Amino acid sequence: MLAIIPARKGSKGIKGKNTKIFNGKPLISWTIEVLQKSKKIDDIIVSTDDKKVVDICKEYNIKIPFLRPKRLSADNSMSIDVYKYCINQFNQKSKKQINSFLVALPTSPLRNVQDVNKAIKIFEDSNPDSLISCKKNNHPHEWLLKLNKKNIISKLFYETNKQNNYNRQTTKLTYLPNGSIYIFNYKKLLKNNSFYSKNTLAYIMPEERSVDIDNINDFKYAEFLHKSLD
């Protein structure tokens, strides 16, 4: 299976996030190493516009035959458009036809090779449109609140059962995407133009491997957890 690592240069939360040193190595290195350990991954594409990322990839013998164009490197660029571009370029240059592919964000350094292999096996056995790694939501969605301009609280979701009054034991279990692993059927992605469809499966990961780094607090927390997982 082909794996794509999206690693554009710009980052508002942490400057140079993908190349920032995380427990002794550039952040992106942890994702590269996990993918290279997986026997289910045949090829790795790193989609970047960052020369520092290119230099790191050379150390892992990962060739970058094409850089991400500026139109796909902006803050408002759509991830799906990046993946379509990568697959199209890869097919043209390799003369292969990709049926499915995996996406691994460098901002999720706590996934391990078992996560990658298990997610791929679920995808191969079930043949869904897509598979997305998730974690359990520890707070019932019924607890979510919204505020108006005067900071007055109102419920985002109204109770269907007035008697439960947000008792944790009677609420429905919900999940959140953790940003770690995405696997797509390429033709279905083109057709649906969405990560989700009526045939999207979840790969459930534990909370301690589900940190998605967006800001410096996430970064420090992930480093702490990473050390404890060694």
Helix axis angle for 27-37 and 51-59, nearest 10°, is 40
Give every CB contact of residue 15 below 8 A, 6+ residues apart in sequence: none
Domains assigned to the chain: 2-132+177-229 (3.90.550.10), 138-172 (no CATH)
CB 98 within 8 A of CB 187: no
Other C-beta atoms within 10 Å of 166: how many?
12
Closest by CA to 200, choosing from 177, 220, 228, 230, is 177
9 touches 50 (CB < 8 A)? yes
Q: What is the pLDDT of residue 146?
A: 86
- SS3 string, 176-202, reads EEEEEEEEEEHHHHHHHCCCCCCCEEE
Which amino acid type is present at position 179?
A: G
How confident is the prediction for the chain on average, in pLDDT?
89
Contacts of 117 (CB under 8 A, 6+ apart): 38, 39, 40
User: What is the residue-wise DSSP string for 8-32?
Assistant: -S--SSSTTGGGSEETTEEHHHHHH
**pTM of the model as a whole:** 0.88
Q: Which residues of the chain have pLDDT under 50?
A: none
Q: What is the pLDDT of residue 28?
A: 97
pLDDT at 160: 52
Three-state DSSP at 158 gives coil
pLDDT at residue 93, as a whole number: 82
Compute the chain's Rg from CA coordinates.
19
Task: Return the amino acid letter for 214.
Answer: D
How much of the chain is in helix, strand and coil states, percent to nearest 5?
35, 20, 40
Q: Tell me, what's the pLDDT at 169? A: 55
